[in-house]
Amino acid sequence: MSSPNTSLEAFNTLGLAINAQTLTIAETPDAITLAWKNSQQLNQPFIVLGEGSNVLFLEDFSGSVVVNAIKGITIEEHDEAWHLHVGAGENWHALVEQTLKKGITGLENLALIPGMAGSAPIQNIGAYGVEFKDICHYVEALHLPTQKIIRLYREECQFGYRDSVFKHAMKNDYVIVAVGLRMAKQWKPVLTYGDLTKLNPATVCAWDIFNAICHMRQSKLPDPKITGNVGSFFKNPLITAEHATALIKQWPAIPHYPQASGEMKLAAGWLIDQCGLKGFRVGGAAVHRQQALVLINENHATPQDIVDLAHLVRDRVGQKFDVWLEPEVRFIGARGERNAVEVIS
Ligand code: FAD
Ligand code: EPU
């Protein structure tokens, strides 16, 4: 299905009122290829979307937007693990719930993350001590120029914190069409984060974790169906050990998480909060009151309102802590992705 001059308001969770030249809902890899070939012929830009929960459209998109709607879930039971093959257009949270209902554990910590299964590898979604890489077996991607589908195993995906090969070498020309997941039958609860530490590892079940996470998330993250947002707007910054030591000396309460690399990860939400920015508004955009890392479309925000607010937040945090935040959300201009740091600097 393809429609011209379409509003993307319902296709980005910030709820920004922007348009695309063409919108296609693609249920097969062939439909994606066809839309891509058409855009090549017209020399128009082309972009694939899942649920638009990690994008900021800066202006109308002067090309073709394809929404990945490739469905299908296949489950295989092996001696030691469950193997799932999941179409890229399956909703992630519905998949989490569906697996738990079938007695398959392992996805519970990643409950309530918006978006599609095919988008999960791109920034290696993560929450509450688990990342996509922990259950990833493979990712299948369509190479648009040759129409070949290639399979990358986990080790080839270059997963990092909110990062993967799909943000770098495979950013252009590839569209993820399926993911393969592997969940061990021998279940080990991950109870390292927040309120999960209060659960008893001896008696806890996966549904307890699922319910606790849904509760924690609902208490601080706005529901995009009610208030436009893209989750954490910025990544949590990684700084050098020396810089961290100086900051901890000055602000002993600063949350800090040592990394295997020797770097220190800080909590961007805390840094923004310390600048007194909760509830701060620019036009229709605002810093969420329950979680300062979330920027919201409070009242008919324009893309420029969000950009101006992000600029102000980055500037205030940078001036106070000499830590320069980088957006997690992907910035999309009229002809394709733009460098987010450059846009808000
Ligand atoms: P989109 O926003 O549609 O796309 C994201 C990027 O991937 C775009 O650049 C797009 O062009 C590209 N893309 C999309 N589909 C494909 C494809 N099939 N092939 C190639 N490229 C593609 N993230 C976390 O990691 N952890 C969280 O806890 C978390 N919580 C969130 C909470 C809220 C309330 C919200 C709104 C967002 C949250 N996010 C979180 C961010 C977001 O949910 C994830 O990044 C999610 O994986 C995005 O999925 P999507 O389908 O909406 O992707
Ligand atoms: N904090 C504040 N004030 C705030 C927000 C946070 O002081 O306004 C403090 C908290 O008290 C806590 C620390 O900052 O000490 C971290 O906060 P939180 O546990 O809420 O997690 P986060 O670092 O803000 C990250 C991810 C989330 C993920 C949660 C849970 C990033 C950029 N964000 O948030 O992912 O759900 O941890 O694991 O890594 C997303 O990527 O969109 C996202 C929502």
pLDDT tens digits for range 285-331: 999 999 999 999 999 999 999 999 999 999 999 999 999 999 999 99
Going by alpha carbons, the residue nearest to atom 5 of ligand 2 is 269
Q: What is the pLDDT of residue 140?
A: 99
Q: What is the pLDDT of residue 330?
A: 98
Nearest bound ligand to the CA of residue 92: 1
From 232, 298, 314, 316, the catalytic residue: 232
From residue 26, alpha-carbon distances to 15, 36, 117, 172, 294 in Å are 21, 11, 15, 18, 30
User: Is the pTM value of this prediction over 0.85?
Assistant: yes
Identify which of 293, 313, 316 to mutate to test ligand 2's pocket (most ligand atoms within 8 A of the CB). Answer: 293
Q: What is the pLDDT of residue 194?
A: 87
Do 180 and 140 contact (CB within 8 A), yes or no?
A: yes
Establish whether 328 is a catalytic residue.
yes
Rounded CA-CA distance 86/83 in Å is 10
Cβ(49) to ligand 1 under 6 A? yes
Cβ(122) to ligand 1 under 6 A? yes
- Long-range contacts made by residues 70-75, C-beta under 8 angstroms, separation at least 24? 70/26, 70/27, 70/28, 70/29, 70/118, 70/177, 70/178, 71/27, 72/178, 73/98, 75/102, 75/104
Q: Which helix (H) or strand (E) holds 63?
A: strand 61-68
Segments in the chain below pLDDT 70: 1-4
The token pair that represents 303 in the structure block = 């893309």
Q: What is the pLDDT of residue 5?
A: 79
Identify which of 270, 316, 329 to mutate to test ligand 2's pocket (most ligand atoms within 8 A of the CB). Answer: 270
Q: What angle do CA 216, 320, 290 make, to 5 degrees?
A: 20
pLDDT tens digits, 210-226: 999 999 999 999 999 99
From 64, 131, 162, 182, the catalytic residue: 162
